[in-house]
């Protein structure tokens, strides 16, 4: 099963959250490469001194806007009456790969997901506590 990491998960990794790192390591060991988006990385990356974040991202695929995606993001935002471009891009990236999104912003992403023809699974991140691995 594929997962898409939202900003909250990357922040937890940058803060060296043991559970986030352990789950990430398990995914990599079983051959799942997590995905995040370039806008999410831009949201979280503030300094080259964020060594943990950069190390964590080496195990991820980072997807950028391509082709018609900016228009699709805009259309999704319109349908959801929302404005967060980063969240909409995360939801579309997960939809394309039928992935689960791991996020600390469950409510906003769920609202966007419900505006898709086939909603995705949005799973809340509970940093510092064990949760079921997708």
Domain boundaries along the sequence of the chain: 3-124
Find the mean pLDDT for residues 5-19. Answer: 96
- Using one digit for the tens of pLDDT, what is the confidence trace for 32-45? 999 999 999 999 99
User: Dihedrals φ, ψ of 131, to 5°?
Assistant: -140, 165
Please name every residue paired with 102 in a beta bridge, in sequence order, or none if there are none.
Answer: 5, 123
Please name every residue paired with 123 in a beta bridge, in sequence order, or none if there are none.
Answer: 102
Report pLDDT for 131: 47
Find the mean pLDDT for residues 17-44. Answer: 96
For domain 3-124, give the CATH number. 3.40.50.1010
- Using one digit for the tens of pLDDT, what is the confidence trace for 46-57? 999 999 999 999
Cα 57 to chain center, whole Å? 12
- Using one digit for the tens of pLDDT, what is the confidence trace for 108-118? 999 999 999 99
Judge contact between 99 and 4, C-beta under 8 A. yes
User: Dihedrals φ, ψ of 10, to 5°?
Assistant: -65, -35
């Amino acid at each position: 099963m594929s997962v898409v990491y939202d900003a909250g998960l990357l922040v937890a990794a940058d803060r060296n959250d043991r559970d986030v790192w352990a789950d990430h390591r398990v995914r990599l060991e079983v051959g799942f490469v997590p995905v995040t988006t370039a806008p999410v990385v831009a949201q979280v990356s503030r300094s080259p001194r964020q060594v943990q974040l950069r190390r964590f991202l080496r195990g991820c695929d980072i997807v950028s806007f391509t082709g018609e995606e900016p228009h699709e993001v805009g259309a999704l935002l319109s349908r959801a009456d929302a404005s967060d471009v980063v969240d909409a891009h995360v939801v579309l990236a997960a939809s394309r790969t039928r992935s689960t999104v791991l996020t600390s912003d469950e409510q906003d992403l769920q609202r966007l997901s419900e505006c898709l023809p086939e909603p995705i699974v949005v799973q809340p991140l509970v940093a510092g506590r064990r949760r079921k691995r997708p």
